[in-house]
């Protein structure tokens, strides 16, 4: 039961004592610890429904200055190992990295460089990865015209890559113009990725994920391995069954329902509760909705893994909140909602409170990491500037437990059923 879980967190792990306490007394203790909870004892045994509707007053949230070279170097020991990694990630989450540091910092954030590696170990890794990259590149470079005639999959990937490269970020100086070296690198890295991951190959949208990385790295090999790390996170988005996208849309709908039930009900009434208009946001992580500098800022914040791996879902909720009043006041229907969300162009700066407010994912269910530990009163703040209107959205993540039914499954793990 969720009451058992919460009571342990508040009063200590004395589970024997907990089992002896009446349910009503536990409910009173929860109300004392978290004012505003509505706890319903249902007739069906095995769970309670804990609801908190009031999100409270929205605070002003300010981002700190980006991490600079001096601050970065103070977190590195004489052999080049990064120290105070948890604190450094928190600092990056709150302010990002200055642009000159991104080339090095992104390699750590994406997992290309291990945080605990020395400078010499990173040099050795780079040499090995460089050799590995060019071996893979040679594989597709050496394919003859005759071979290509008999390999339809290779032809299809090459054709799609060439089309997408020619329309990816062409207004950015790094990619503009004909025969731009940046376009050639973009093409070559994507073709080499097809050799790296034969099963996936190339899927439309992957060029959008590579473009900012290549822009920052300005190096073919570094960009490739950082892209590989990013694709390890995004792989399910591009698989044929698209299970990753289906899961995220379900999670987003559930999260919005728990955070803003009235808005969710309105969307459902307009046949928009499935949130398909958020598909592109999730598929390529707001790449086409944000300005290029804001993409760099938001992505490095998300790569810290704070406050949870599903932080992008909270950003979606913040964006939807910024458009909620217009949608509801103007009584937009399905077509209008689709249009305003698809054509939305906004700048986004994300931040969180101090270290005491970090979100903790409850349990071992990695697919529900957006569910935040109610015991710590964790919260996420997302500031969204939409069409010049400054909006501050505070998401009290303990309200995610609204109408969650939690039961003990046969293995003793907490299972979550949406009520």
3-state secondary structure the chain: CHHHHHHHHHHCCCHHHHHHCCHHHHHHHHHHHCCCCEEEECCCCCCEEEECCCCCCCCCCCCCCCECHHHHHHCECCCCCECCHHHHHHHHHHHCECHHHHHHHHHHHCCCCCCCCCHHHHHHHHHHHHHHHHHHHHHHHCCCHHHHHCCHHHHHHHHHHHHHHCCCCCCCCCCCCCCCHHHHHHHHHHHHHHHHCCCCCCCCCHHHHHHHHHHHHCCHHHHHHHHHHHHHHHHHHHCCCCHHHHHHHHHHHHHHHHHCHHHHHHHHHCCCCCCHHHHHHHHCCCCCCCCHHHHHHHHHHHHCCCCCCCHHHHHHHHHHHHHHHHHHHCCCCHHHHHHHHHCCCEEEEEECCCHHHCCCECCCCHHHCCCECHHHCCEEEEEEEECCEEEEEEEEHHHHHCCEEEEECCCCCEEEEEC
Q: For residues 146 and 219, state if they share a domain.
A: yes
Q: For residues 258 and 397, state if they share a domain.
A: yes
Please give the pLDDT value at position 7: 45
Q: Does residue 292 belong to any structural domain of this protein? A: yes
Q: For residues 193 and 275, state if they share a domain.
A: no
Q: Does residue 25 belong to any structural domain of this protein? A: yes
Query: Model pTM greater than 0.85?
Result: no
Q: Does residue 60 belong to any structural domain of this protein? A: no
Q: For residues 103 and 184, state if they share a domain.
A: yes
Please give the pLDDT value at position 400: 32
Q: For residues 277 and 153, state if they share a domain.
A: no
> Which segments in the chain show pLDDT lower than 50?
1-3, 5-7, 9-11, 13-19, 30, 348-419
d(CA 98, CA 330): 41
Q: Does residue 133 belong to any structural domain of this protein? A: yes
- Domain of 215 in residue numbering reads as 98-238
d(CA 353, CA 381): 7
Q: Which of 238, 254, 270 is the last residue of a domain?
A: 238
Q: For residues 233 and 300, state if they share a domain.
A: no
Q: For residues 127 and 180, state if they share a domain.
A: yes
Please give the pLDDT value at position 177: 86
In the chain, the N- to C-terminal Cα span, in Å, equals 14
Q: Does residue 369 belong to any structural domain of this protein? A: yes
Q: Does residue 321 belong to any structural domain of this protein? A: yes
Q: For residues 347 and 377, state if they share a domain.
A: yes
Residue showing tokens 């978290």 = 34
Q: Does residue 67 belong to any structural domain of this protein? A: no
Q: For residues 397 and 251, state if they share a domain.
A: yes
Please give the pLDDT value at position 51: 55
d(CA 18, CA 8): 8
Please give the pLDDT value at position 344: 72
Q: For residues 17 and 102, state if they share a domain.
A: no
Q: Does residue 32 belong to any structural domain of this protein? A: yes
Q: For residues 201 and 111, state if they share a domain.
A: yes
Number of domains observed in the structure of the chain? 3
Q: For residues 287 and 336, state if they share a domain.
A: yes
**Residues shown for the chain:** 419
């Amino acid at each position: 039961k969720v009451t058992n879980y919460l009571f342990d967190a508040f009063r200590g792990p004395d589970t024997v004592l907990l089992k002896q306490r009446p349910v009503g007394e536990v409910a009173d203790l929860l109300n004392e610890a978290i004012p505003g909870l509505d706890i319903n004892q249902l007739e069906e045994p095995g769970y309670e429904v804990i609801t908190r509707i009031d999100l409270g007053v929205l605070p002003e949230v300010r981002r700190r200055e980006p991490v600079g070279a001096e601050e970065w170097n103070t977190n590195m020991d004489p052999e080049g190992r990064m120290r105070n990694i948890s604190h450094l990630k928190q600092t990056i989450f709150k302010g990002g990295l200055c642009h000159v540091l991104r080339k090095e910092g992104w390699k750590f954030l994406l997992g290309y460089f291990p945080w605990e590696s020395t400078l010499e170990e990173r040099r050795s890794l780079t040499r090995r990865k460089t050799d590995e990259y060019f071996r893979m590149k040679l594989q597709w470079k050496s394919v003859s015209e005759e071979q290509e005639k008999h390999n339809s999959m290779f032809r299809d990937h090459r054709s799609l890559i060439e089309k997408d490269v020619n329309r990816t970020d062409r207004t950015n100086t790094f990619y503009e113009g004909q025969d731009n070296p940046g376009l050639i690198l973009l093409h070559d890295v994507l073709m080499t990725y097809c050799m790296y991951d034969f099963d996936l190959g190339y899927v439309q949208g992957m060029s959008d994920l590579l473009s900012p990385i290549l822009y920052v790295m300005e190096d073919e090999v570094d960009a490739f391995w950082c892209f590989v790390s990013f694709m390890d996170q995004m792989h399910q988005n591009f698989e044929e069954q698209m299970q990753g996208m289906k899961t995220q849309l379900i999670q987003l709908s559930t999260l919005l329902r728990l955070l803003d039930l009235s808005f969710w009900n309105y969307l459902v009434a307009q046949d928009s509760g499935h949130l398909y208009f958020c598909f592109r946001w999730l598929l390529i992580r707001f790449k086409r909705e944000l300005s290029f500098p804001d993409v760099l800022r938001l992505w490095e914040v998300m790569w810290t893994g704070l406050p949870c791996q599903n932080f992008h879902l909270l950003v979606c909720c913040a964006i939807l909140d910024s458009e909620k009043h217009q949608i509801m006041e103007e009584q937009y229907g399905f077509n209008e909602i689709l249009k305003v969300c698809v054509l939305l162009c906004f700048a986004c700066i994300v931040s969180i409170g101090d270290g005491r407010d970090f979100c903790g994912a409850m349990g071992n269910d990695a697919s529900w990491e957006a569910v935040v530990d109610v015991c710590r009163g964790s919260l996420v703040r997302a500031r969204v500037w939409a069409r010049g209107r400054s909006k501050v959205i505070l998401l009290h993540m303990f309200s995610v437990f609204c109408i969650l039914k939690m039961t003990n499954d046969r293995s003793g793990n907490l299972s979550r059923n949406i009520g």
